[in-house]
Structure 1
Amino acid sequence: MKTFSSIQQLLATLSREQKLLSELFEKRKILSFNYDYALELVDFDADKITALVDYAVVRQNGNNLELDDVFLQFFEQVMEVNEEINASYINEHIQNIKQNIIYYLQENNEGRKYSYLRQVKQALRKIGVIALRNVVDLNRNIDNTFKNEPNYKIKQTKLEHLDDKRATVYKLINETDALVSGEDEVTFFRVAADEELNRLIVVLKLQLNECRHNLIDIQRQIIEYLNRIKHHSGVIEKLRQIKYLKDQFELRSKTDIKAILAENTAVVFEPNPTYPLNIPLDQLQTDSDALNIIRKVAKGKHSNVKTNQPMAEGISDEYLETQVQEEIQINLDEVKNGFLASGNNLFDFIVNYDYGREVTFDECITIYCQMVSQYDTLFKITDAYNNRQDVEFAMIYPK
């Protein structure tokens, strides 16, 4: 494995292959990133991919590529999209601060003392940022787990594990607050205090206080989610037992469901009310129109007269002949699935797609517009444009 000889070489390599690296990062959760598609992104220059593999920027597994863990973690942390809650980072920086404080107090050379002080300041800056990121990632993971995990037992276990993470982060925040408050290292913060260190401590305390408030809210959210899971799982378990007894025809003999339903006064068990419209007797006695209406209704009910319905003419045989008209419909969902599996741009894919019938250029433009309007969230719409038969269109690729 090769290593970069300088920062300039590293940045030049990342910049030159930014298109491929961006696609690999955006599709980092997809199980496979095809080598042929990557080859298209580097203008079919296989040496570029080979160089990335040699420098351990990209790892190749058969015909698939993926970002190396080091660069993937770096990109996720810089872009603040990391989903892993790692409280050990905070603990490492706390221990680093304590060690450098000891070195600072034991050192007599002013130059080396300043280097230890600078490392303490760097660690203080990192702790606040890492704590805030952990709180954000923790909140997002809790929400995603409760909403997206279908298995109740796994969902409960994950939430309990995340609650342990929350408690660990909260403990480390309190430890950091005690450290910068001078409770453990009184001598250092009195001797080494300068304007920059004091400002860093004030900023860090504000960040830790914000984290503390958010963690309290996260704890309340976890408790609420666990109570919901417990209630839902209990209801489901009861329904399963009732379903089993019902299937065994033992529900009435082994339970008191009949007595419970008899005592239940819920509206759903009440009969539907009826509201008959009764005509007042005073109106029937005084209103002649009401009497005439009653007579007509009574006459219709007691009438034995049978009316003969007129017979329609026979239906012509021409109307009974079966006429079949076939039309091939274009399934946009199938076109979309085919496009996401390809590496081509959208317009060329639509023009070359096999629809089962001949499609005109105007129909291709219509399909292109329909695809963009319905599935734009699945596409990567670039700023590049192309022309075909005096028609300008944007270059669109699958995400």
Structure 2
Amino acid sequence: MKIVEQLRSILLSVAHNKVRVFLTSLGIIIGTFTIIMVVGIGKASEKAVEDQYKRLSVESITISKARGGSGGGKGGSSTSKSLTKEDALLMPELLTNVGSVGISTRTSSDIAFGTTAETVNIQGINETYADITNLTPVAGELFTDEDGLLRNKVVVLGYNMANLLFEGDIDSAVGQKVLLKGTSYTVTGVLDRIGGSGGMSTGGGMANSTSADDMAFIPYDVAVKYTSGSSGARGGGGGASITFIAQANNIDSVQPAIDEIKQYIGETIGDSEAYTVVDAGSTLSSAQDTSKTMSALLIAVAAIVMIVSGIGIMNVLMVAVKERTREIGILKSIGAARSVILMEFLLEASFISFCGGMLGVLLSVFAPWVLSFTDIQYLASVEGVFIGLGFSVITGIFFGYYPAAKASKLKPIEALNYD
């Protein structure tokens, strides 16, 4: 039996049962659409993670207070001791593999300009922190450590925050006065658009976001005095915790620098586990692994939809085998090989699933529009299309094999006598 005749037979069968075939392929359509959308969301998530950490060089090392204190001191008790600003800034002098150390503290507050107000995360930083994290102004300039020592009330706004407060006129922000915690601060600059959180902390939404684009930056010493307070007392107490970011001398010095920092923390406050010390590469890798795991889980959910629709395809083909039993008997009686019958039904299953997959691909064009009603980001990819189509065809072949094999095993006489 020629392939052209097989295809003609398949088309006639599908046309004869088009409503049933369409309803059966709905699962394939939805499954393919879901897989493509999930892959797109995963790609967008991975890109967001990369954007978050792209400002940090591979030599940078984040030093942050471990949750619950040390969590691993003797007897399981946590420590209230913390590194002070002075402790941290001594590291480049005392540690061989550490080149520089930045310092920051963060709190949230209302920020207002004119009639526009928003809750924002305020990050107090020193110049070194800005250098290591590559905070670059697109308008105006960054403040200096001297501004901190003089307690000058100056602020640098993230791009999104400036865009919100000044209604898109970024350049006009420089020199203006904004209110932070009811106190007037002069805007010295606006940061270039970055995207992501730049390796600082994690959060979501503008009120809780730690993306540099959504934040306001002030000198560290000003933040300690007027906004966040300090946890710098060696015995504890105080307000917001301090985060440090160190930079190793070179890429080969990263691990030795981490070891030195941990030892230094242990010697300084008596608990080397009180702070987590991780390099940017490890943090990025961990975040990417988490993103990929979530994408894999979502794809698995979409695959379940495919399996359910595959069972539907199997059901349709089982019915088709019964309806065409006499036809199968005729084909066998005139010499059609078992492989021909098997191939015909497998092709029909593949055709149904492939058409469902293509409709799912066309439907995925609307994925950005669907997700526009949420905060979920989507990034279209050819990979998603191929994965979706691949799943759909494989589903059709897998679930179409049993009815196809059953049809090919029918005996001619029994098939011709089938009522």
TM range (shorter): under 0.3
**Higher-strand-fraction structure:** 2
* Structure with bigger RCO (C-alpha 8 Å, 6+ apart): 2
Please give the TM-score of this superposition, normalised by the length of structure 2.
Answer: 0.19
Please tell me whether Structure 1 or Structure 2 has the larger radius of gyration of its CA atoms.
Answer: 1
Please give the TM-score of this superposition, normalised by the length of structure 1.
Answer: 0.20
